[in-house]
Amino acid sequence: MKDLMGRAIWDYYHNENPEDLQTETSISELDELPVDYLFRDFDEMNEIEQKALQLSEGKTLDIGAGAGSHALYLQNERNLDVLALDISPKSIEICKLRGIKRAICSNILDFSEETFDTILLLMNGTGIFESLPKIDTYLKKLYTLLNDNGQILIDSTDILYMFDRDEDGGVYIPAGGYYGELDYTVHYKGESEEPITWLYLDFNTLKNAAENNGVKIERVLKDEDSYLAKLTKK
């Protein structure tokens, strides 16, 4: 992994000629992602992020922490014990430099040291599930990291709106898999990561997967095609 996202975060923090990231998926064209967006404060976050941070309580694990904006808010403004986790080494270095007391570079599937009252997965948190067949693996893993009365707060978007429709309102969906499974590619300063599989989930599909794994689920906020879900142990 070239860690292009981490390099962009590193460059921005150190003012080392940062450039905007570029992202693309298998169903969308190249899009600009300003690096300063990853350093936004609470007032600049969307309603789903703000709601998730307000609902967070107790010992919290922030998965996919990036530059650490969510973890910093919870640590500094909510006075919570927060662990920031990301697979990007440079992102975790910046989390520490920004003052996050606990930050670790790890894949969530390899992490097992602690359990938590809140597990946070934001900015399309279902993306880490990769594909439909792997949802069970990730949900079972998250379940083992959750305290008995804990909660998982996760967001996603139903991307059905991105597909063409016929005159009768039917949607043209490619055959061969779930429409929310996308190839996702990051570009930075002329370099490209290998595409990764990234999963956008409609709420009903996540609900079915959660219930099949013995996890209670409720949708706590809906914003157009996006939503925030809360998962708890039965």
The CATH number for 62's domain is: 3.40.50.150
Identify whether 83 is part of a domain. Answer: yes
Identify whether 128 is part of a domain. Answer: yes
**Whole-number CA gyration radius for the chain:** 18
- Report residue 13 as tokens: 């923090």
Pure H helices in 69-202? 69-76, 89-97, 135-144
Identify whether 168 is part of a domain. Answer: no
Identify whether 20 is part of a domain. Answer: yes
Low-confidence ranges of the chain (pLDDT < 70): 164-176
Identify whether 50 is part of a domain. Answer: yes
Count of C-beta atoms within a 10 Å radius of residue 201: 27
Question: What pLDDT, on the 0 to 100 scale, is given for residue 170?
Answer: 61
Q: How far apart are CA 75 and CA 56, in angstroms?
A: 11
Question: What pLDDT, on the 0 to 100 scale, is given for residue 161?
Answer: 78
Identify whether 167 is part of a domain. Answer: no
Identify whether 165 is part of a domain. Answer: no
Domain that holds residue 147: 4-160+173-233
Asked whether 69 and 120 are in contact (CB, 8 A), the reply is no
Q: Total domain count for the chain?
A: 1
Question: What pLDDT, on the 0 to 100 scale, is given for residue 79?
Answer: 98
Identify whether 166 is part of a domain. Answer: no
User: What pTM was estimated for this model as a whole?
Assistant: 0.94
Question: What pLDDT, on the 0 to 100 scale, is given for residue 173?
Answer: 67
Question: What pLDDT, on the 0 to 100 scale, is given for residue 31?
Answer: 95
- Report residue 122 as tokens: 């934001």
